[in-house]
Structure 1
Amino acid sequence: MKSKVYEGMLLVLFLLTTALAACTDDEPKDRVKEIRMNVLPETGIMYPLFDDKQEYPIECLLVKTDDNPNQIEQLGMNRIEGFTYERGHEYYLSVKRTILANPPADGYNRTYKLIRILQDRLVAEPSTKVDNDIKSEADIKYNDLCPFTKYSISTKYLVNADGAIFYADGRKLPSYKSARIWLDNILDKADTNWNKFQSIPYQAYYSFVVTPFADQLRLVYNDSDGPMFKDVVPEEEFSKIKSMQPGESVRYSLVLANIHKKGLQKLEFAVEKQ
């Protein structure tokens, strides 16, 4: 009798163990796959998760994957772990893609990690050549709905005899070679054209520089945050400013332009000898 009870207990234990193993095997698991990914040389605009009203546009990568080659996908600039994107470059990557079985409620359902860069190709340096038909500010053609009020900059910079650069409130900028003229997006979100003004044709890729020291326009590349100070005020002009008398100032104008070099908005600032 005891033998039969013991055998029955073993059978029950076996069935419970088998059931637990089956449950464990049935639990969803992350799906990991090595894929090939093409990162395009131009960027796009996307919106954060839960930004249903599309009020906070951010720059993003444009990519194609080998398992979906006809579809261009948007990917956050820092979504590929171990990969740093450089403008004007086209990349072909080997990437580990993990599709999460249990993604966080406030996050993405997949992650990417760089395995290796298979190809890094410089497509084109940003061209800062002024078209022959643009000889003065009056010749700059504006994009439709422009000029508008989207960007702002500091309206005054102070320079001392040693070449140190300060904002009007006394805050010091980095060195001449590292200082930047920051472009701040101040566009009112209530603007009826808010979404349109965040698209590529309304992004300030370039600045036409109207300088007090020359009749010709210069074209400089803005990068994602604004032009470098040294590009807007080259060394020859910076030397002249450093030699001015204290209190003297000169005025510069920046005509912001899109990727097609069509005008968007005009901004002005002064540089004063401290």
Structure 2
Amino acid sequence: MPNENKPQLTIDAVKHCVNANMTQADILQKYGVRIHALRKLLEANNTSMRKLKPPLMQTLLDNFDQWKSDGKNHAEVADLIGVSRQTLYAMLFKKGLSFSNRTNTKYAEDPEMQARADDVGHHILTKGGSVSGAAKLLGYPEHEQAIRVILKARDIDLELHYFAHRRFSNWLTLPVARQQHPSGNHSMDKIRCKCLRCGAEAWVRYSNLLGEKSKCCKSCAKSPSIKVRCEETQEEFRSMMSAIKHFNIRAAYSNVNYHLKKNGRYSVSEGVTLVRVVKEVK
């Protein structure tokens, strides 16, 4: 039974506790309730402890500058976020961040490392991709982290060019910030692309690019308009089925379809010859 001397548990109170990195056990002890009461409250608000907690990467990015100016080290930041130091290192490595300024000074005084960063930066800006992929391609795999730090110090938006300059069928991806899907599923993100057939630009879902479900813009993807003409009367029909219905020859559909596709013409009966007319869409 809840303790009357303890504060009342509300959804706003739970959110505040979660943002303060309190565990489920801490919340139960603070408000003197049992686990089923907390679960019932979360279900009534269509949420969960996991949903209430902001994404770890977003928490790191939002507070990075402040924590760095405060002089916090990796262990302290890991405790604030609620992850291990190994996980924090992986998060920082992915975004090219560091809480130490010593490496920047060291690399700034190394002309060879600066030259390698120039090569990798030029490759990414012109051909897209990641620091890891570009460093391996150019023969600098062991210097990947150093190059990443240098490029980050130059204010080069690595995320912006990650998907850029890639070709998927007749699509060419552009260096424009992608539209992220609310679910956080990156395969559902939309990428700005240019159609190599007509030059039109459009937003295309990344999963459709990878699966080749989208190969060009909608205008270029339209099939050629197929018409059927009666050779004797010169009457045109918008489709083969329209002609078949007009002459009431549904039983001969398979033969008409086969011969029109193979030979381009088919004599249905005396005085009725169908010709396949193809007009390309420009």
- What's the TM-score once normalised by structure 2's chain length? 0.21
**Structure with greater strand share of residues:** 1
Larger Rg: 2
- What's the TM-score once normalised by structure 1's chain length? 0.21
